[in-house]
Homo-oligomer: A and B are copies of this chain.
């Protein structure tokens, strides 16, 4: 059964406050090598049949908010 991962991130121009908070906490824990942190979500779909256009349609209709989010589709081998 094909598996597809959709990764959804806030557009780079938008302030990611959850990411900022994580960055601050990592610095406090001594992980000073972290320069930037951004948080997104990933939706893993098990499909009976993979059609990228259909997955794009799912993203447009339900999985993402195209005003503020970008997404990438990755079909697992």
Instruction: Count A-side interface residues using an 8 Å CB cutoff.
Output: 33
Interface residues of A in 43-60 (CB under 8 A from B): 43-49, 51, 54, 57-58
Contacts of A46 on B, CB cut-off 8 Å? 34-37
Rounded to whole Å, the gap between the CB of A67 and the closest CB of chain B is 19
Q: Is A41 an interface residue (CB 8 A)?
A: yes
Q: Can you list 8 A-B pairs with a CB-CB distance of less than 8 A?
A: A22-B63, A26-B62, A29-B61, A29-B62, A34-B47, A36-B46, A38-B43, A38-B44
- Interface residues of chain A, those whose CB is within 8 Å of chain B, are 1, 7, 9, 19, 22, 25-26, 29, 31, 33-49, 51, 54, 57-58, 61-63
